[in-house]
Amino acid sequence: MSATRGPDGGSDATPEAGSSRFAIEILGVQKHYGKVLALRGVDLDIEPGEFIVLLGPSGCGKSTLLKIIAGLEDPTDGEVYIGGRLANYLRPGDRDVAMVFQNYALYPHMTVRDNLGFPLKMRHRAKDDVKRQVEAAASLLQLTTELDKYPDELSGGQRQRVALGRAIVREPLAFLMDEPLSNLDALLRVQMRSELLRLHKRVGRTTIYVTHDQVEAMTMADRVVVMRDGLIQQVGRPGEVYRRPANRFVATFVGSPPMNMLEGALRTVDGSRRFEGPAGLDFPEAARLDLPDGELTVGIRPEGLTVVGPSDPAGVAAQVELVETVGADAYLTATVGAGATVTIRVEAETSPGEGEQIHIRVAPGAARLFDAAGDRLPLPGERG
């Protein structure tokens, strides 16, 4: 059903309603539960066909946002547009979105075939049509041999695929996935991740994926939306978010082991500006910043610190406390100067041992600077 322009004919600039550039738009959405603020003003535009991941810790509002898009909850304020149409008052079934639940929500008293066909049956599609769609989805998800089984006869991975299938048969405008992989064991999770991506490339529909696992987000997303306490912290491609985090929270949440954070201050000493960090770690770049004196935090990822020889002028002494080897990498936990601890990534083969004294320096360009409020400061030369 397509709406037309307003009674005044609209201006040339008014697009045909229902044909927005974006698949889903979220404007100023807020959600309170009594005194609890689950979402505090969220704006987001989702491109058609993209795989966008809502990432954040528990309670950040990502699942709430998903449910609001689905229509399972109403926003306290704000608007949701699906396919260019205002969806606020539309029932979930009328919104043309399909959802994959964390616990799959398969109908336990129906066979896989009936589960898959249910959405189509509810929309009164012809029986042959339903049969065709169901079998197509089944073959796509390798469920053809399970069609006549019941959910409790299936493994976790299979159930998940049925849940996916049920969403796929509807050919909706967008898929909404609420932590679908978190109930699977680690190995299965990795497998399903690539399967989901494969599926997405084939089917190509807009997908909104909610997770608290940043590895999932980084590996699967076209774009990542990092959320915390009901607000969006940053939106961008995974590489963006990783290399240029918008604030301290994003910087430490994304990436494992987390980014090292070193507190320091920008001061003017003898007319020249210096950054004074722990144990004398210096960041000449900081001095070039056009900022008043004040507190400054420097963030460096473990791979941004390198072990150097004692004679390196930029090197700083550190004491290795702990060595954790993970495959070909080793992560050193070391104390620098007056009690600051950092994590350093080195090759496992050449790794220093525990208790050793080493020297480390910051790789050029690896430092990220954060002001007192936690937002990242663009370095000169950066596009920000």
Q: Measured from the CB atom, is 41 or 258 closer to another protein?
A: 41
Q: Measured from the CB atom, is 4 or 139 closer to another protein?
A: 4
Q: With binding defined as CB under 8 A, does residue 33 bind another protein?
A: no
Q: Which of 33, 77, 122, 372 binds another protein (CB under 8 A)?
A: 122
Q: With binding defined as CB under 8 A, does residue 127 bind another protein?
A: no
Q: What DSSP line would sit under 75-139, residue for residue?
A: -SEEEEEETTEE-TTS-GGGS-EEEE-TT----TTS-HHHHHHHHHHHTT--HHHHHHHHHHHHH
Q: Which of 20, 182, 252, 341 binds another protein (CB under 8 A)?
A: 20
Q: Measured from the CB atom, is 113 or 274 closer to another protein?
A: 113
Ranges assigned E (strand) in the chain: 24-33, 36-46, 51-55, 77-82, 85-86, 97-100, 174-178, 206-211, 223-228, 231-236, 260-269, 272-276, 294-300, 305-308, 316-326, 329-336, 340-347, 357-362, 368-370, 376-377
Closest CA to 85 of 22, 31, 41: 22
Q: With binding defined as CB under 8 A, does residue 107 bind another protein?
A: yes
Q: What DSSP line would sit under 220-234, residue for residue?
A: H-SEEEEEETTEEEE
Q: With binding defined as CB under 8 A, does residue 28 bind another protein?
A: no
Q: With binding defined as CB under 8 A, does residue 194 bind another protein?
A: no
Q: Measured from the CB atom, is 71 or 238 closer to another protein?
A: 71
Q: With binding defined as CB under 8 A, does residue 161 bind another protein?
A: no
Q: Which of 166, 274, 345, 361 binds another protein (CB under 8 A)?
A: 166
Q: With binding defined as CB under 8 A, does residue 317 bind another protein?
A: no
Q: Measured from the CB atom, is 82 or 367 closer to another protein?
A: 82
Helix (H) or strand (E) holding 243: helix 238-243
From CA 361, how far away is CA 281, in angstroms rounded? 8
Q: Measured from the CB atom, is 116 or 281 closer to another protein?
A: 116
Q: With binding defined as CB under 8 A, does residue 79 bind another protein?
A: yes
Q: What is the nearest approach in angstroms of another protein to the Cβ of residue 230?
A: 22
What is the token pair recorded at 188? 């299965």
Q: With binding defined as CB under 8 A, does residue 86 bind another protein?
A: yes
Q: With binding defined as CB under 8 A, does residue 173 bind another protein?
A: no
From CA 336, how far away is CA 226, in angstroms rounded? 31
**What is the x/- site pattern for another protein, positions 131-160, by CB under 8 A?**
-------------------x----------
Site stretch for another protein (CB under 8 A), options 93-101, 186-194, 212-220, 292-300 = 93-101
From CA 250, how far away is CA 55, in angstroms rounded? 10
From CA 31, how far away is CA 29, in angstroms rounded? 7
Q: With binding defined as CB under 8 A, does residue 91 bind another protein?
A: yes
Q: With binding defined as CB under 8 A, does residue 10 bind another protein?
A: yes
From CA 21, how far away is CA 46, in angstroms rounded? 9
Site stretch for another protein (CB under 8 A), options 13-21, 184-192, 223-231, 365-373 = 13-21
Instruction: Collect all residues with Cβ–Cβ distance below 8 Å to 286 and sequence separation of at least 6.
Output: 266, 273, 275, 296, 298, 367, 369
From CA 367, how far away is CA 204, in angstroms rounded? 37
Instruction: Provide the binding-site residues for another protein, judged by CB under 8 A.
Output: 1-4, 6-8, 10, 13-15, 17-18, 20, 27, 70-72, 79, 81, 84-86, 88-89, 91-94, 97-99, 101, 103, 105, 107-110, 118-119, 122-123, 150, 166, 170
